[in-house]
Amino acid sequence: MHFDFSALYKALPSLLVGATVTLRITSLSIVLGLGIGIIAGLARVWPNAALRAVAGAYIELVRGTPLLVQIFLVYFGLPALGLNLDPFLAGVIAMGINSGAYVGEIVRGGIESIARGQMEAALSLGMTWHQAMYYVILPQAFVRILPPLGNEFIALLKDSSLVSTIAIAELTRTGQIIITRTFKSFEIWSGVALFYFLMTYLISRVVRFSEERLRYSE
């Protein structure tokens, strides 16, 4: 028994295409998740109790159900309501909504980690609550939430393998297709694992670089 490097070499172009799809769906999901998460995180600390309750319910509901179920709900469930989505779009929406809940908690935690006196000082200077949040609290909170945001993005990239269940030819699905033709499971899955490692390593380095730049600018 030996490792067939030639099988892996031949599969690399197809795996690269699959990795590109994985990066596309992850990037779009991150953008959507960030938008939802920032809104949800701010709503969690907003003075309006009803808004806090709605944001809290969304976060608890999404975090309390598996991402795979959410993907199935968007792709297979919404057609029952007359809304048919392309698999790629359904995957982005499901992953974005899922990520938004986790990003929302990260944003909330970052905001609440800032000393209460910062808000009180800003208000005493004549700022409104919204101005104080935008100009004083959020810039400081962003530096603190960058590392956990990076971890969330890495987790989201790895979780993107779940969209293979709705026939999106991302990295994992591409690996499965190649294995059905070559029967080289160990070699192909090793290649898939290598691509995931390289992508997550790249994200971690970008986050680390951004974190160091922000610390330097302070």
User: Residue 191: what pLDDT?
Assistant: 96
List the alpha helices (DSSP H) in 125-184. 129-132, 138-159, 171-182
The pLDDT value given to residue 217: 56
Contact partners, residue 175, CB within 8 Å, separation at least 6: 11, 15, 18, 188, 189, 191, 192
CB 85 within 8 A of CB 101: no
pLDDT of res. 6: 93
State the Rg of the chain over Cα: 21
Which sequence spans correspond to the domains of the chain?
Answer: 11-217
pLDDT in the model for residue 213: 75
**What CATH class is the domain 11-217?**
mainly alpha
pLDDT < 70 regions, the chain: 1, 214-218
155's CB contacts (< 8 A; 6+ apart) are none
Nearest to 168 by CA among 8, 24, 31, 10: 24
* Percent of the chain surpassing pLDDT 70: 97
pTM of the model: 0.90
Instruction: Supply the pLDDT for residue 172.
Output: 96
Token couple for 140? 């400081």
- pLDDT tens per residue, range 61-78: 999 999 999 999 999 999
